[in-house]
């Protein structure tokens, strides 16, 4: 499970992706942007995957899904 927090309001919300199906998940974002990028290793497919999301303050909305390579994400 991955969590996102609104510091100003102290509200914590779950963010997809997360959990065992997104091994070695890294999440990148900028405080002044709604774009959130998640990169992880899909062990079943031996692929590194990247998803780009738009964050609306409460939910994430998938924009794009890309396979960026094979094997270990780092």
Query: Hey, where are the domains in the chain?
Result: 2-70
Question: pLDDT band at 4, cuts 50/70/90?
Answer: low
Distance between CA atoms of 17 and 39, rounded to whole angstroms?
9
Q: What is the DSSP string of 7-36?
A: TTTTEEEEESS-STTSEEEEEEE-TT-SEE
Structure tokens at 9: 């309001």
User: In 3D, which of 54, 53, 45 has the Cα closest to residue 68?
Assistant: 45
Q: What pLDDT digit, counting tens, does each position of 19-49 carry?
A: 677 778 888 888 889 998 989 888 888 889 9
Instruction: Kindly report the pTM of this predicted structure.
Output: 0.74
Distance between CA atoms of 10 and 38, rounded to whole angstroms?
23
């Amino acid at each position: 499970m991955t969590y996102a927090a609104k510091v100003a309001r102290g509200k914590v919300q779950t963010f997809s992706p997360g959990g065992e199906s997104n091994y070695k998940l890294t999440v990148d974002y900028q405080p002044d942007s709604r774009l959130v990028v998640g990169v992880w290793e899909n062990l079943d497919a031996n692929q590194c995957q990247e998803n780009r999301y738009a964050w609306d303050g409460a939910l994430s909305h998938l924009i794009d899904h890309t396979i960026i390579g094979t094997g270990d994400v780092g």
